[in-house]
Amino acid sequence: MVIKIGVLELQGGYALHHNLLKKIGLNSLPVKSGDDLKQSNGLIIPGGESTTLSLLMTKYNLRESIIKFAKHNPVLGTCAGLILMSKDVDDQRVDPLGLFDLSISRNAYGRQIYSSKKRIFFQYDQAKEIELHSTFIRAPKINYIGENINIVARHGNLPVAIFSKNLLGLSFHPEIDGIDIFHKMMFDKTSKFYYKNVN
């Protein structure tokens, strides 16, 4: 069976995710409907405008499909994707999916003109800590972390990547910098970081 990773294409920076998946030898397909999701073995919810993405998920009847899909398939959310995967968001215009027991503040790292690369430290499954430099664009801040959620990367003392079962959420944009370790962790069987939900 050919593994295909779906990339949500409602709005935002989905093209770079397709490029990164291709770079590491994985097939991808655009997800714009529930039928597209049924053909996928994993899902990426990209960065973008979380309020717009929230409205479009409702408009195209994708909310419940994504929630159901996320129970048994790997899902990666970057920036706005993390916001949407969370349980509580400090903006009533966003109707989150509630996949993570998290509380999130939108745009906590400042306006887009203050976007920058920041140093983060990544550690997963007792592996040696890895220093990375990745891009933060109006990045969300994680205010509260519930049970059964692991912090796998930090910027200073702040968690910027969290992992729970088959879900991975990032405050930053590894796809902009060509950082593939998080995509490999979730979707690439040949990687030492690969994770596959066995439920």
- Positions marked catalytic: 79, 173, 175
Rounded Cα gap, residues 16 and 76, in angstroms: 14
- The encoded tokens of residue 127 equal 């592996």
Three-class SS state of 6: strand
Torsion sign, CA atoms 108, 114, 120, 122: positive
Contact partners, residue 107, CB within 8 Å, separation at least 6: 138, 139, 140
Q: What is the DSSP letter of 101?
A: -
Q: Is 148 left (phi over 0), alpha (psi -120 to 50) or beta?
A: left
- The encoded tokens of residue 33 equal 């409907």
